[in-house]
Amino acid sequence: MRLDDYRAVAPRGALDIIHRLAERLAGRRVLHVSAGRFGTGSAEMLTTVVPLIADVGIEASWEITGGDPPFYATARALGAALEGRERVLDDEALDHYVEMNRVNAKKLRLDADVVIVHDVQPATLVTDRPAEGRWLWRCHFDCSRPTRRAWSFMRRFLGQYDAAVFSLPKFTRRLTVPHYVIHPAIDPLSDKNRDLGPLQITRQLDALRVPRDRPLLVQVGPFTRAADPLGVVNAYRLVRRYHHVRLVLAGTAGEDQESVEVLGELREVAQHDPDVIVLELPPEAHLQINALQRAATIVLQKSLREGFGLGAAEAMWKGKPVIGGSAGGLTQQIIYDVTGYTVHSVDGAAFRIRHLLNHPELIARMGAAGREHVRRSFLATRHLTDSLALLIHVMR
Amino acid sequence: MSVHTFQFVGCVEVRQALDRRALDERELMDRLEEVPAGSIAYHTHGYFLRHRPFTTPYGNDFAAWVAVHVRDQALAERLAVINPFEFTDVEDLREELTSTIHDHLLRLSSVPQVEFGEPFYFQQSHLVEVPLGPACTTLAEFRAQLGEVESSAIYVHMVEARTRLGRRSDDFAEWLRTSLGLADLAERIERIDTYMTSLERVRARILSLVDAALAEPRS
């Protein structure tokens, strides 16, 4: 993708600002380091942003760290513990993780004007930072309630960075370095978000066997307790007493026990109610998700716990009102009573669904407002703008 | 900016989280007294820059938090009517905000706090300014660029200019008056109420005033 491809979707003048910011960074080298190129939110974001940075004339590169199975296992455990989940972290495993990153540091070319290290796996590379260049730690998850052991280990490395960057102020933790805030964003030209014609939507829904004879309530998300798909089913049951609607729950199931249990319970529900459709989709089912969101009357993201939760922005970009849980980044994305509602309970979700179904003019108005809100605040072009401005700021 | 030309400048906010938050209205007042002036400006003037294209009924982050998360409509109302653009000094604005909360708390038997909402997280921002387009020398050139320029330029010239320079006049009015001798047009632009509206509405209002001036027969 070229930056100019975004001209039709970005707000007026946004690309001019990006080009002007880029002029101030001409000749600089920016390096991103992450755990991998696929399968995470940060990888998805870098896939979009790195080529765009290069397209505006800045030397941009993206490296990944590697190691042996114990290295990956420790990095995963440490990441989970930093998100507040209890994990066993023994000294030997942590030493090995640090040592493997020392090996990574020797293999990678780390001399850049700004090095941005994403999340946990490559985080300790900072111990081998060259004398020149600014180093930023980009944290894509909620780091506000880590386990004590994990934080005590990680803090000494994070203090060696020049700054940290979080997705929300509430995801931060006290650090000795400044912490900046950049909201994540969606790529409006990706398969998950690009415009689809009515025929394409119909084809996708036919293939998924989702009839369109009734208003569709759609929740896309993992089959976990945190995403609360069972709460959505209960809200739907309260709504169906008054409205003939269909509920679609689509997502990718993990291999963990919790996912298996939740999916099993949802299938049980769907077996007894033909208006509840449970779709287990592969991770690359971007076009299907796009079509489902576009076919929806109302999109739900009734999470009890959430990261930034960009699914809300994806749905708003498609002109849909969103009813989200009062969790994570959903309160930041959904403008209450303007682009949708944040709710605290099953009853609250049901009430807002009924409210919207009884006022179809609100559905159209909120949908249009949501699209404009996302255009301004949650597109990749805004993310690029913020990132370039941050680079200029930290290089002052 | 030279005396005779006008250079549009846009801006991007680099947001910085501060290690300060409030869970109730007294904490909000206490933190308000100690945070950097830049944080007060971020949560008041900056609200105008961030809330585009929509405005909410509150006008600043403090009023919005008190209304949505503490659910104290009485204080939210009182904070919402504080127009930050009337203060040329952020310290005066800080004083107005803290004394309003203090006065409100004096009337209550307990301090309203967050029950189901989120804490207030103090932030501040660093503005990275960016020149946009060629400099203008005539009203027609000014009009053409104003119609196309990224909306943050409206913020820089209509809002930031006043707080940055501590003056009542905005950049547009200042240039139109001093460089083009258009005192009437400058005065009309100065009278635009920038509070509780959006950058695009302000742009539209200025454009209509400039169009009217361009349509006037030249003497």
pLDDT in tens, B69-96: 999 999 999 999 998 888 888 999 999 9
Distance in Å, alpha carbon of B219 to nearest chain A alpha carbon = 35
pLDDT score at A394: 96
What contacts 24+ positions apart, CB below 8 Å, involve A324-328? Answer: A324/A300, A325/A228, A325/A301, A326/B116, A326/B117, A327/A303, A328/A142, A328/A168, A328/A303
| Strand A114-118 to A59-64 pairing | unpaired
Query: Is A179 in contact with B53 (Cβ distance < 8 A)?
Result: no
pLDDT score at A256: 84
Q: Provide block-wise average pLDDT over 10 residues at a time, chain A (396 residues).
A: 94 92 95 90 89 94 95 96 94 97 96 96 97 96 95 96 96 93 96 97 97 96 95 98 97 86 95 96 94 98 94 98 96 93 96 98 97 95 96 94
Question: Environment class of residue A55 by beta-carbon count within 10 Å: exposed (0-12), middle (13-18) or buried (19+)?
Answer: middle
Query: Is B132 in contact with A20 (Cβ distance < 8 A)?
Result: yes
* Cα–Cα distance list, B83 to A249, A362, B39, B44, B92 (Å): 46, 30, 16, 9, 12
Query: Strands, DSSP E only, in B110-162?
Result: 120-136
The CATH homologous superfamily to which domain A3-185+379-394 belongs is Glycogen Phosphorylase B; (3.40.50.2000)
pLDDT score at A383: 95
Alpha helices in chain A (DSSP H): 14-24, 41-55, 69-82, 91-107, 148-158, 198-208, 229-239, 257-272, 286-295, 311-317, 330-333, 346-358, 360-377, 380-394
Cα–chain-centroid distance for residue A110? 27
pLDDT in tens, B159-216: 888 877 777 788 999 999 999 999 999 999 999 988 878 888 999 999 999 999 999 8
* Cα–Cα distance list, A272 to A3, A197, A225, A277 (Å): 49, 33, 21, 11
Is A181 near chain B, with CB under 8 Å? yes
Query: Is A13 in contact with B132 (Cβ distance < 8 A)?
Result: yes
State the count of interchain CB pairs (< 8 A) between A and B.
80
Query: Is B54 in contact with A386 (Cβ distance < 8 A)?
Result: no
Structure tokens at A20: 């002007």
Cα–chain-centroid distance for residue A326? 16
Decide whether A3-185+379-394 matches A198-377 in CATH topology.
yes
**ipTM for this model:** 0.89
Residues of A in contact with B14 (CB under 8 A): 180, 386, 389-390, 393
Name the residue in chain A with its Cα closest to that of B20: A174
Q: Which residues contact A197 (CB under 8 A, 6 or more apart)?
A: none
Question: Before B53, cis peptide (omega within 30)?
Answer: yes
Residues of B in contact with A181 (CB under 8 A): 15-17, 123
Is A395 near chain B, with CB under 8 Å? no
pLDDT score at B1: 46
For chain A, the domains span 3-185+379-394, 198-377
CATH code for A198-377?
3.40.50.2000
Query: Is B130 in contact with A335 (Cβ distance < 8 A)?
Result: no
Is A273 near chain B, with CB under 8 Å? no
pLDDT score at A40: 81
Query: Is A17 in contact with B16 (Cβ distance < 8 A)?
Result: no
B interface with A, Cβ–Cβ below 8 Å: 10, 12-17, 19, 52-54, 56, 68, 116-119, 121, 123, 126, 128, 130-133, 148-153
Instruction: Flag whether pLDDT at B66 surpasses 80.
Output: yes
Residues of B in contact with A372 (CB under 8 A): 53-54
Is A162 near chain B, with CB under 8 Å? no
Residues of A in contact with B7 (CB under 8 A): none
Order of all β-strands in the sheet with A179-181: A59-64, A29-34, A114-118, A134-138, A163-166, A179-181, B6-22, B120-136
Q: Which of A11, A13, A169 sits opposite B17 (nearest CB)?
A: A169
pLDDT score at A378: 96
Instruction: Flag whether pLDDT at B219 surpasses 60.
Output: no
Query: Is B121 in contact with A170 (Cβ distance < 8 A)?
Result: yes
Name the residue in chain B with its Cα closest to that of A387: B14
